[in-house]
Amino acid sequence: MSEHLARNPSPETAPPDRRVPMPGPIRVLVAEDQALVRGAVAALLSLEPDLEVVAEVERGDQVVAAAHATGPDVAVLDVEMPGINGIAAAEILRRELPSCRVLIVTTFGRPGYLRRAMESGASGFIVKDTPADQLADAIRRVHAGLRVVDPELAAESLAAGDNPLTPREADVLREAKDGSSVTEIAARLFLGDGTVRNYLSSAIGKTGSRNRVEAVHVAEENGWL
């Protein structure tokens, strides 16, 4: 009798159930300014049984607030968005929500974007023509703590080398994109006119350009702005 009880303990004497609970789905935030693309990405990811889209935003300056409100595990961010771009949003997320990993997804496979994204704290960088199943897999890998980088873009980034522009030179070129005068740029950046001219001249030289318009174009094509 005692042997039988030892082999088959009663509910009162049975050891507690120590099974580890199954983890929930990976919570995903999607940031993309084009509504059709954003909706398509969210719909495709929602078909994956282990992924859950918890937030969708159309502006870069909505990312951090949405992340605070919904607690995503992974934020999938476009680069070019109104407000602030995805790389700037990634930098803020790294400071305020370090548990949220970032995967940058962009149309523009520019080498400079990759380097800036990695410096911002992003864990991955892929282009938008990546098939849906590979995007889902990239999210899983980023969530697991791995780095995911488009191989062709990685090779181009290494070949292109470092961004030659200083942060201030890049700031001045960004402000020059709309054709603003030196005085207007100086006022917006709280700099002197002479200082702005010096930065523009330096940026033109470093990009091998003939003028500021060409320098902006070169810098944008390389993803330095």
How far is the first Cα of the chain from the last one, in angstroms, to the nearest whole number? 80
| Among the listed residues 32, 128, 136, the one whose alpha carbon sits nearest the alpha carbon of residue 74 | 136
| Structure tokens, 159 | 């070949």
Q: How many residues does the chain have?
A: 225
Per-domain residue ranges of the chain? 26-160, 167-221
Average pLDDT over residues 147-159: 67
What phi, psi does 216 have (nearest 5°)?
A: -60, -45
Show the beta-strand stretches assigned E in 61-219: 74-77, 101-106, 124-127, 148-149
| CATH architecture entry for 26-160 | 3-Layer(aba) Sandwich (3.40)
- Give the tens place of pLDDT for each residue, 8-66: 444 444 455 555 445 789 999 999 999 999 999 999 999 999 999 999 999 999 999 99
Least confident of 66-75, 90-99, 160-169: 160-169
| Among the listed residues 174, 23, 5, 177, the one whose alpha carbon sits nearest the alpha carbon of residue 88 | 174
- Give the tens place of pLDDT for each residue, 136-150: 999 999 999 998 887
Cα–Cα distance for residue pair 169/201, rounded to 1 Å:
9
pTM here? 0.64
Q: Which CATH number fits domain 167-221: 3.40.50.300, 3.60.10.10, 1.10.443.10, 1.10.10.10?
A: 1.10.10.10
